[in-house]
Amino acid sequence: MSRNLNTKLQSSISNERSLYLLLFIVFAFLISAPFQMMYFNGAGLHSIAQFQFELKSMYGFCIGIVAFLVVSIRLFKTTVIEQRHLVVLVGLLIPLSYYLSSLTAVSKYLATISNLLNFAVYGFLLLGVALSNSRKLLNIMMYGYMLIGSLIALDGFMYIVGNKFRLDALMYNDGVRLGGLFTYPNSYAVFLITMLLAIFHYLTVEKNLILKIGLGLILVPIALSFILTLSRGAIITLPVIALITLLISSLKKQLLLGIYFVPSFLLSLIVQSYFSEIGNEVYVKTDESVKSGQEVETVPLFSVQSMKAWGVLVIVSVIMAILIYLFHKYLAEWLNTKIEKWKIKRLSNLWIPGSIIVIIVIAIMLWNTEFLTQLLPSALSDRLNEITFQTHSVLERLTMYQDALKIWRDYPITGGGGGVWEALYERYQSYPYISSQVHSFPIRVLIETGLVGFVIVIGFILFVLTSYLIRCLKNKDRDENYSIYFLISSAIFVHSLIDFGMNYFYLIAIVFLCLGILVGQQTNKITIKIIRGKTKLITRSIGTIFCIIGVVLLFNIYNFMYADTKFNESERLLSSRPNLNELTTVLADGLKHMPNHPFLLDRMATIYKSAYQQMSNDSFKTEALRYVARLDESEPNFSALSIVKYYNAKEWGSTEETIEILEKAIENQPFQLSYYELIFQERYLLWTQFNEQKDLINRNLQKDRILSLYTQVLERASQLQQLNQAISINRNFEITSNMNDIINHIKGAGN
């Protein structure tokens, strides 16, 4: 008896230690993200600037795969099969659907990164399930999340005040917009929504008054940061999530949420214009420095200007904390007494949500009268006034969605693989925009994984959220403490319907961590006769398979990180004028680990061509062409490939070859005007050659093709003229003076 008790005790201690290890992994994730641009998955094929995101993403993926491995090892100790285990196995279909799409992917490079991302995300789902039944560790995790999030928010104010500079931490669109460490205001805004949800939740459930005051101190900076993002998508998301929050909350919690929400946002609105003006001044100065190539000067932290701004922030924060203290000191008991009387009344918990809906409807009706806009800061009211279907950003997004559906029609069942939008959007675009993100998570899933993956990924997310919501509405008391995980994941997911926030590994990992915590509540035991007595064998087998997958994935991440290191080393060498052998050895070492890495192949080809141009050694020319061929075979949609192949053909090939390359380039990038100019020149050279040779048949053939190209450019330019005027076109597409000169010349030559 005592031996069994001792064994159970040791097992319990071992289990608790492994849970703390999982908690450590969560904190490693939360702490490292701010130093890695919040893990933005921005790797692509268009620009060397996109390369910077690859290594940063790998750090995040590595943490997710480590979580995947640790939880897999825990499976060896599982002796019962519960409903949550089956849901988790269904969740495994998410990374598997991405793996399936990668087999025929448009870009093997981007699809491989996408595979790593989705297995890492799955690791966070497992992490959430493993932590779900430890209320103590979940509370520690959430307080840690709020603490780190508060530091991120305070860091954001350093960009507003001018104490720090980071490119795109401040942006300008109808006023200065705060992007913070995300360097993208919309994604920063949805992160701040999750912070607000967490703070409001713990203010309602926390018993310790000191902790409540601490939460009150950071509430206004978070709310103010949210307003300073000027994110229309987040502004739309907030009331939706607020209504859901109220519907799943008790009457007491609803009243408390209102008591905390109203003063925090009123105080934020009072000082918003002040911080917006400071931000405007800082943005103008830094933007001028960046454009002129000068070093950006920051404002000393303890300067008068800086201390005044921080003083205002401290004052409003302290006022909010005092209000919370006074409420709990003098009014909380009275409110509890009143609530007990109101609770007995039918549908009392619907009073506040119903009132909110009425207020929203009235506000919308009054909006055109400008009665409400006069009460708001001008920058905020201007952004709110633009929330219409005729706003340029809405029209541009709708156009991108239509273009994305064109891609999906070509890859309907299993999709075009991870990164298909980044690789192909220029081929399918309706006008010459630049956007490496499709701005909608569901549409991104659809084009990357097809109908199969869309049903699996979106279906899984909706199943977990709706099943929790049903359980919560049936029994509020049991699930209210877990509602924060439902709300955080819902907020990010709802916002992702119209933006690319879930392309930040930080945000998508948080979604699946929360989903895992919700799934972990489904602890009903499942008894299947056919596997009775084989539970341990099954769980150990699954654990073993998962461990093998995890090790393989970590090895792939290591290869990426090693190749990245070698590429960055080549960057440093290039700045110090190295010898050719030293430089190519470094890059070749990286290619041993990632043989088809497009940026390494492109750089190797460029270096050998440069060496040939300097020394006229034919072996260098051969190597340059070999690496271009490898790049063409592995990543034919690499953006710089067409121009590289063109100049190689121009130097070492024929005019016909250069034309063929340019025609293919136009097919892939139909709004890239420079390709039309080049092909005009090449065909004009042929026309001139045949004209001098008196070869009228071939001369007229070239003339017809030049005129056909001219008509094509005119038609595309006319197509752009028919677009809604609200849509911003950031690349010119029109007949150039050089094209007109060529047309006039060949027409003037007669027949």
- 3-state secondary structure string across 417-471: CCCHHHHHHHHHCCCCCCCCCCCCHHHHHHHHHHHHHHHHHHHHHHHHHHHHHHH
Rounded to 5°, angle at Cα 122 from 119 and 123: 90
Residue 525 in 3-state DSSP? Answer: strand
Name the residue ranges covered by the structural domains of the chain: 1-131+394-567, 165-235+254-387, 568-748
pLDDT at 1: 46
Please give the pLDDT value at position 450.
96
Residue 525 pairs in a beta bridge with 82
Residues 630 and 650: their CA atoms lie apart, in Å, by: 19
Q: Return the bridge partners of 82, or none.
A: 525
Question: In which residue ranges of the chain is pLDDT below 70?
Answer: 1-16, 340-349, 351, 360, 362-390, 392, 476-480, 526-533, 750-751
The pLDDT of residue 269 is 92
Three-state SS annotation for 529-598 = HHHCCCHHHHHHHHHHHHHHHHHHHHHHHHHHHHHHHHHHHHHHHHCCCCCHHHHHHHHHHHHHHCCCCH
Structure tokens at 650: 């121009």
Backbone angles phi, psi at 178, to 5 degrees: -90, 120
In this structure, the number of other CB atoms found within 10 A of the CB of residue 550 comes to 22
pTM for the whole thing?
A: 0.92
CA 381 to chain centre: 27
Residue 170 forms beta bridges with which residues?
A: 178
Q: Which of 565, 632, 631 is nearest to 593 (CA)?
A: 565
d(CA 444, CA 438): 6
For the chain, the helix, strand and coil percentages under 3-state DSSP, each to the nearest 5: 80, 0, 20
User: Which token pair is 257?
Assistant: 């949420």
Q: Of how many residues is the chain composed?
A: 751
CATH number of the domain at 568-748, please?
Answer: 1.25.40
CA distance 725 to 392: 8
Region of residue 167 (left: phi > 0; alpha: psi -120 to 50; beta: else): beta
Pseudo-torsion of CA 510, 515, 518, 524, nearest 10°? Answer: -140
Which residues are 172's β-sheet partners?
176
Element (H, E) at 202: helix 185-205
Q: Record the tokens describing residue 278, joined without a space.
A: 């400071």
